[in-house]
Amino acid sequence: MRWDALFGDMEAQLAAAAGLAAESEISERVRMELGGIRLQDRLRSQSGRELLFELGAAGAVQGILRHVGEGWVALEQERGAVLAVLSHVVAIRGMDRFAGGPAGHVRLGVASALRSIARDRSPVVIRSAGVAAERALHGTIDRVGSDFLELAVTPSDLPRRSTNVTGVYVLPTATVAAVLSQRNGWN
């Protein structure tokens, strides 16, 4: 019958519209859920992956992601470690498409991470935001305040001793893009 075809066509159109509405709702829910994920949550799901962090003028740092803190990440390299401050990261390469959920426990901030490095007394290279990587400062972090650090600057090939200190710099932590340490000398 003619009406059977008409009603069948109407049912097919209605089913297609319902399918499109369901797809649209699912897509919108996924977008909303993704909108609640922070970069740190996204990075947590990348633990153990080799990532490259572009820091603008401060260069790039690369390594295996080991820790994600509140505003920073720690990377393991073959001959050392890197702390990269997320507020100075321009781009990240090497991540997959998975995202982790929000953190369920307390995350240490940048100042806490810097205090740990200062306690270790290991020689570091500090790359500052907006400053070319080749102008990085070599030395040892002596003290860390709430929004600054004090760096005893030494030649890159000499240990931290009072006779080797060529100056002490006070750096606002907001300008620190990356802190690099090396176990076996500098590249």
Query: What pTM did the predictor assign?
Result: 0.76
Give residue-wise pLDDT tens across range 158-171.
Answer: 888 889 999 999 99
Give residue-wise pLDDT tens across range 107-156.
Answer: 688 999 999 999 988 899 999 999 999 999 999 999 999 999 999 999 98
CA separation, residue 143 to residues 86, 157, 171 (Å): 22, 22, 11
